[in-house]
């Protein structure tokens, strides 16, 4: 291309209206960003076990940091404080699982008879109404065949179990290092940024970490309240497997929107089959009451304004996460969206760019410049409060 052709190209670009040129540039940037996000997401999906291990370690570090902080206040070494957090996690998980298993085994004999009687009542009700016996048998047979065809291959199931076990071990190892060396890791990452951008990156990182901490701890508290509330209703009504159903409610509470609906539906179905229609309606009323109290009173109070997401955004994020990575994607979609939003807002609103001086002015409360803060970070990279320390 000669000089005249280049001049003609530039003249043609300048001849376009200003809004159209802006739209072209913005569209090109959006295409590049979306393509980069798609490639990154594809890589993370391909490395699903490692990705889930890292995400689980971050979530658990946000949840267990008070335990390690308490151990450090008691002058325990860093490694012992991190080990105390992991032991607390193991006890907190193993205790309820043991109780649930014992209660399920103890109620199995009684449950078998009640389930058979309940299924017979349900069959009589359906055959006396819209369905005949042959139609119901055909539906049950078709459903059984679908479930059998959907069952995983034994070899694939074994490989999946091994991958899950490896992910759990990796997550525990990463959790130990996060609890022990979290501040050092953040300081190392922060010093990969240019000195001028370091204060802004530090503020954005700390804001994102605080949002993750608020979400994980608040969701855990709400999950406990949901499990206890629905579990008490099941115990009062004499529904079998009350403790396992309460524990299932606790676990599914970490999946926004769909988790609560699924847990409530399982509880109502068990009550319907084992105790009849009246107890099932009472369980449904209890589930609705607990979820309304949780959604309208407890969640805004416990989580507060740390997670500023509209319900439509939450629904979209959960749906997208489920489509991309199944249940694991549904669990991490909302906190990931909240953290990314918080990081973006902190970076955008950081009071560091002074047009009058043309340089980063740093923190206005301290009167120090961004360069001075960066120099201070270079001399003392692990200063207290300078990083989102998970420990």
357-390 residue pLDDT tens: 444 444 434 444 444 444 444 444 443 333 465 5
pTM, two decimals, is 0.71
224: how many CB neighbours lie within 10 A of its CB? 14
**Which of 5-19, 273-287, 309-323, 330-344 bottoms out in mean pLDDT, i.e. has the lowest?**
5-19
Q: Are strands 353-354 and 359-360 parallel, antiparallel or unpaired?
A: antiparallel
Q: Which two tokens stand for residue 109?
A: 């004999």
Q: Is residue 129's pLDDT more than 80?
A: no
- What average pLDDT score do residues 20-27 get? 85
Q: CA distances (Å), 359 to each of 177, 203, 237, 346, 386, in order?
A: 37, 17, 67, 18, 22
The 10 Å CB-count burial string (b at 16+, else e) for 112-146 is eebeeebeeeeeeeeeeeeeeeeeeeeeeeeeeee
* DSSP assignment letter at 294: I
Q: Is residue 85's pLDDT more than 60?
A: yes
- What average pLDDT score do residues 291-311 get? 75
Would you call 354 helix, strand, or coil by DSSP? strand
Q: CA distances (Å), 75 to each of 47, 178, 390, in order?
A: 39, 19, 17
Give the pLDDT score at 375. 46
pLDDT band (50, 70, 90) for residue 304: low
53: how many CB neighbours lie within 10 A of its CB? 21
Give the pLDDT score at 155. 74
Q: How many CA atoms lie within 13 A of 180 on its CB side?
A: 14
Give the pLDDT score at 71. 92
Compute the distance between CA of residue 160 and CA of residue 178 in angstroms, rounded to an integer: 26
**Top-confidence residue, 41 or 196:** 196
Q: Which two tokens stand for residue 277?
A: 């229609």
* CA-based end-to-end distance of the chain: 60
Compute the distance between CA of residue 99 and CA of residue 197 in angstroms, rounded to an integer: 51
Would you call 353 helix, strand, or coil by DSSP? strand
Q: Is residue 157's pLDDT more than 90?
A: no
Give the pLDDT score at 31. 92
Residue 75 C-alpha from the chain's centroid: 32
Would you call 360 helix, strand, or coil by DSSP? strand
For the segment 224-277, what is each residue's pLDDT rounded down to a tens digit?
A: 989 999 999 999 998 888 888 888 899 888 887 788 888 888 888 888 888 888
Q: Is residue 133's pLDDT more than 70?
A: no
Which of the given ranges, 154-163, 266-275, 282-291, 369-378, has the highest pLDDT on average?
282-291
According to DSSP, the residues that pair with 359 across neighbouring strands are 354
Q: Which two tokens stand for residue 120?
A: 């017979």
Give the pLDDT score at 200. 92
* DSSP assignment letter at 40: H
Give the pLDDT score at 12. 66
């Amino acid at each position: 291309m000669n000089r005249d052709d280049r001049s003609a190209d530039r003249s043609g670009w300048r001849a376009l209206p200003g809004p159209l040129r802006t739209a072209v540039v913005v569209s090109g940037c959006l295409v590049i960003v979306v393509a980069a996000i798609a490639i990154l997401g594809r890589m993370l999906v391909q490395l699903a076990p490692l990705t889930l291990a890292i995400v689980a370690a971050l979530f658990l570090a946000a949840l267990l940091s008070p335990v390690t902080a308490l151990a450090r206040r008691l002058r325990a070494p860093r490694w012992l404080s991190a080990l105390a957090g992991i032991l607390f996690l193991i006890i907190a998980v193993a205790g309820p699982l043991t109780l649930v298993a014992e209660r399920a085994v103890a109620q199995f004999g009684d449950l078998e008879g009640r389930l058979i009687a309940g299924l017979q009542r349900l069959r009589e009700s359906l055959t006396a109404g819209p369905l005949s016996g042959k139609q119901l048998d055909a539906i049950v047979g078709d459903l059984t065949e679908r479930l059998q065809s959907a069952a995983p291959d034994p070899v694939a199931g074994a490989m999946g179990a091994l991958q899950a076990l490896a992910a759990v071990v990796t997550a525990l190892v990463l959790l130990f290092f996060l609890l022990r060396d979290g501040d050092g890791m953040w300081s190392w990452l922060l010093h990969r940024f240019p000195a001028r951008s370091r204060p802004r990156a530090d503020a954005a990182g700390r804001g994102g970490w605080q949002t993750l901490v608020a979400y994980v701890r608040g969701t855990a508290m709400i999950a406990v309240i949901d499990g206890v509330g629905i579990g008490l209703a099941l115990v009062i009504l004499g529904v079998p497997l009350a403790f396992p159903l309460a524990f299932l409610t606790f676990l599914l509470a970490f999946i926004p929107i769909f988790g609560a609906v699924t847990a409530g539906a399982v509880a109502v179905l068990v009550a319907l089959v084992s105790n009849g229609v009246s107890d099932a309606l009472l369980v449904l009323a209890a589930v609705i009451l607990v979820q309304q109290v949780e959604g309208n009173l407890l969640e805004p109070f416990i989580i507060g304004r740390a997670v500023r997401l509209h319900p439509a955004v939450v629904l979209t994020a959960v749906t997208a996460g489920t489509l991309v990575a199944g249940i694991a994607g549904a669990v991490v979609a909302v906190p990931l969206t909240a953290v990314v939003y918080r990081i973006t807002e902190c970076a955008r609103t950081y009071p560091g760019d002074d047009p009058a001086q043309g340089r980063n002015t740093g923190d206005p409360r301290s009167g120090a410049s961004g360069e001075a803060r960066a120099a201070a970070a270079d001399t003392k990279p692990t200063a207290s409060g300078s990083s989102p320390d998970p420990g």
